[in-house]
Structure 1
Amino acid sequence: MSAIRVDRVELRRVRLPLIHRFRTSSHAKRELEHILVALTDADGAVGWGEIASPSGPFYSAETVASCWAVARDHLTPLVLGREWEHPAELAGAMARVRGNHFARAGFDMAAWALWTAKGGVPLAAALGGTRPSVEAGVSLGIEASVDELVEQVAARVAEGYRRVKLKIAPGWDVAPTRTVKAVFPEISVHVDANGAYSLDDLGVFRELDGLGLTMIEQPFAPRALVDHAVLQGLIGTPVCLDESVEEPDDLITALRLGAVRILNVKVSRMGGLTPAVRVHDLARAEGVPVWCGGMHEFGIGRAANVALSALPGFTLPSDVSGSAKYYRRDVTTTPVTCVNGVVVVPSEPGLGWHPDIGFIASRTLQAESAQG
């Protein structure tokens, strides 16, 4: 395929209401804003990507507002008019922008979507995917009561999901987790702390260690890799890292310390599909199983997650649950669907799901474009 040159970049800030409020230890979300990126080449072909950053700086330092500024003022000028033959070349050019992984991820995703659509290749196959379908899990937030949490788990199990991730925080950890495990002994359960604990909370983790969990995800702060290694040495349940690993070098450090036995790979946190594949390859070479985490992506980002989850190292259920769990209507013409806990990997070129241009326009709060 000949070189691609991006002649137009369009950014759209889009808001969708959530079907069910999602509560974490710091805040509750009733709706989400993400930024959609459209890259148009000289032939008029378009590739779409999604900047799935949170609105506030609670998961990472990036926000929708900061991503908008970086996308408009720094990434767009780097992309416009540049010729490239493979998305990795564009990712290399964007690496001049330090950090800002969420913002870079949207552009990298759009580049892969454009390149695979023009080349007539399914995105999953281009990334190295080998599975025709992927097993999906769901992530559940902190509810008002344990009974309400059990209701949410029951609804997801009834839909066919066999893996549930529970958010935990000090004061909401052992009791709700023990209840869910007791009521639903047949499903896989793991907990995600989003860095809310410290080594002073070893008693909590010793109790969780006895519940037969698949993993304990990100118990401590992102840079507390030594503490994660200490905890892993004291419990049998695998420690999974999320926020701690943003770059391949972070994973190398965690591996050398013995701080990680499972890795959550998020396209957004890694800065796009290009580095996510690189981290997958490294983890697989070290024998560390990975799974694809989510940021409540709209259909564009969800499509990229499905494609990534088809890679051979993704041996655990990923957060690629159907759009209907989160949104009554998604930004794609057809939603991502999950049947009996399984999502089919598209075999058509590109993302496999197509943007609903009219609906996107109706939900757009802000839009800007640039020509090159």
Structure 2
Amino acid sequence: MHIEAIDFYRVRIPLVSAFRTSFGTSTVRETTIARVTTADAEGWAECAADPYPLYSSEFLDGSDVVIRDHLLPRLQALGDSLTAERVGGALHPVKGHPMSKALLETAILDAQLKQDGVSFGRYLGAVNDRVPAGVSVGIMGSIAELLDAVRGYLDEGYLRIKLKIEPGWDLAPVRAVREEFGPDVLLQVDANTAYTLADARHLAKLDPFDLLLMEQPMLEDDMLGHAALAKLITTPICLDESIGSARDAAAAIALGACSIINVKPARAGGYLEARRIHDVAAANGVPVWCGGMLETGIGRAANVALAGLPNFTLPGDTSASSRYYAHDLTAPFVLDDGHLAVPTGPGIGVDVLPEALDEVTVSRTTITW
């Protein structure tokens, strides 16, 4: 594939409401949007890295540097033989930086599929034309505020509620939500690495609430700790930050560190490795679901396509656009009976709205190929 140029847009998009996790509070989504231009198509992707290295070691300014100085030169060296399938191998010598690698691989894949007239869903192997949508509910200022938020999301039709938790905000909010909305609501929690194995007895107090899963209770590199915790609680453990590759997934499953996996393509370096994680989990009878990173419609479109694969059997964080943004960068994703439709157009299947992008762009860099 012959690339003519790549544009990088740094954007700042206000969230409709503050979103708090154990890592901190976000009121604005700042990210980098990449556009790959060929003679026949444009490919789009967004970076999942945050401005600060709190969720992971990657952060946006660092991503800019590693892309410019280390990743792009390796792709440019491939010349016209560059394809999305060759991106991973070309960038492998650069240690880490999966979100930066995912940005480039995804934009190139989008352009490639648009040239070929193939949708993301068809390319990845989606078998469903719509996917069930869950919603992630951040840490709130009060139980009353939390209950109001959850009630609103259930009224909108979301099929699963995920509560962010941390020490001091766990038992009480979970109990309140379960008592208020009953046993039939699909409910899970996400700790974002906020606990240690020393908290096992406390975390076991969540068992009576019949949760779907407890997501990433401990640090991402503590596989053995998660395996030990799994023997001490009955709530299924789901790993998120710990799973950066199919090899990580295989190791976690073999150790008994999880019985469910949250697949995030950006954390895995792109959708090709995300598909491999799906395949490893499926071969071992471990269900997966698609996590979210406050994506705009650009990243959401690709995630929804991935979530159409057969082993994505649990509702993911593939929420409607209105969950986060008053004005998205694409036509908004809208819930229909608790589901989102898998885009069927070429590539990611949605168009970026130029005026919407211009309105939130704070800087732009063009790399001529």
TM-score range, shorter chain: over 0.9
Give the drift of 1:111: 1.6
Distance in 2 between residues matched to 1:16 and 1:60, nearest whole Å: 21
Distance in 2 between residues matched to 1:184 and 1:203, nearest whole Å: 26
Within-5 A mapping of 1:274-289: 274-289=272-287
Alignment match, 2:72: 76
Task: Say if 2:232 is the partner of 1:234.
Answer: yes
| 4+ residue segments displaced more than 3 Å | none
Within-5 A mapping of 1:217-232: 217-232=215-230
Among 4, 7, 11, the residue aligned to 1:10: 7
For each residue in 1:260-310, what CA deviation from the matched residue of structure 2 results, as whole angstroms up to 9, or x when unmatched?
A: 100000011111111101111111111110000010011111111011001
Does the 8 Å contact 2:131/2:304 carry over to 1? yes
Alignment match, 2:199: 201
Letter paired with 2:367? A
Give the drift of 1:79: 2.6
Task: Say if 2:171 is the partner of 1:163.
Answer: no
Alignment match, 1:342: 339
Distance in 2 between residues matched to 1:113 and 1:99, nearest whole Å: 23
For each residue in 1:325-365, what CA deviation from the matched residue of structure 2 results, as whole angstroms up to 9, or x when unmatched?
A: 10010111x11222221001112211111111222122111
Unaligned runs of 5+ in 2: none
Alignment match, 2:250: 252
Does the 8 Å contact 2:119/2:343 carry over to 1? yes
Give the drift of 1:147: 0.7
Alignment match, 1:177: 174
Task: Pick which of 291-300 and 361-370 moved more.
Answer: 361-370
Alignment match, 2:368: 371
Letter paired with 1:229? A
Among 12, 27, 31, the residue aligned to 2:28: 31
Task: Pick which of 229-238 and 74-83 moved more.
Answer: 74-83
Within-5 A mapping of 1:273-312: 273-312=271-310
Aligned to 1:270, what secondary structure does the other structure show?
Answer: coil
For each residue in 1:18-44, what CA deviation from the matched residue of structure 2 results, as whole angstroms up to 9, or x when unmatched?
A: 001001123211101110111112x24
Letter paired with 1:257? L
Distance in 1 between residues matched to 2:288 and 2:128, nearest whole Å: 15
Aligned length: 367
Distance in 2 between residues matched to 1:339 and 1:55, nearest whole Å: 33
Alignment match, 2:62: 66
Letter paired with 1:119? D
Among 51, 68, 73, the residue aligned to 2:47: 51
Does the 8 Å contact 1:22/1:28 carry over to 2? yes
Give the drift of 1:100: 0.5
Aligned to 1:268, what secondary structure does the other structure show?
Answer: coil
Q: Percent identity?
A: 41
Distance in 1 between residues matched to 2:294 and 2:128, nearest whole Å: 23
Alignment match, 2:105: 108
For each residue in 1:66-87, what CA deviation from the matched residue of structure 2 results, as whole angstroms up to 9, or x when unmatched?
A: 1121222222222336334742
Alignment match, 1:211: 209
Among 118, 122, 129, the residue aligned to 1:121: 118
Task: Pick which of 134-143 and 229-238 moved more.
Answer: 229-238
Does the 8 Å contact 1:13/1:366 carry over to 2? yes
Alignment match, 1:262: 260
How well do the aligned residues superpose, as a CA RMSD in angstroms? Answer: 1.3
Letter paired with 1:313? N
TM-score by length of 2: 0.97
Aligned to 2:2, what secondary structure does the other structure show?
Answer: strand
Aligned to 2:247, what secondary structure does the other structure show?
Answer: helix
Distance in 2 between residues matched to 1:205 and 1:129, nearest whole Å: 36
Aligned to 1:191, what secondary structure does the other structure show?
Answer: strand
Aligned to 2:318, what secondary structure does the other structure show?
Answer: coil
Within-5 A mapping of 1:182-193: 182-185=179-182, 186-193=184-191
For each residue in 1:43-83, what CA deviation from the matched residue of structure 2 results, as whole angstroms up to 9, or x when unmatched?
A: 24110011121121111011111112122222222233633
For each residue in 1:121-168, what CA deviation from the matched residue of structure 2 results, as whole angstroms up to 9, or x when unmatched?
A: 111011111101000100011000011011110010000002011000
Distance in 2 between residues matched to 1:12 and 1:86, nearest whole Å: 23
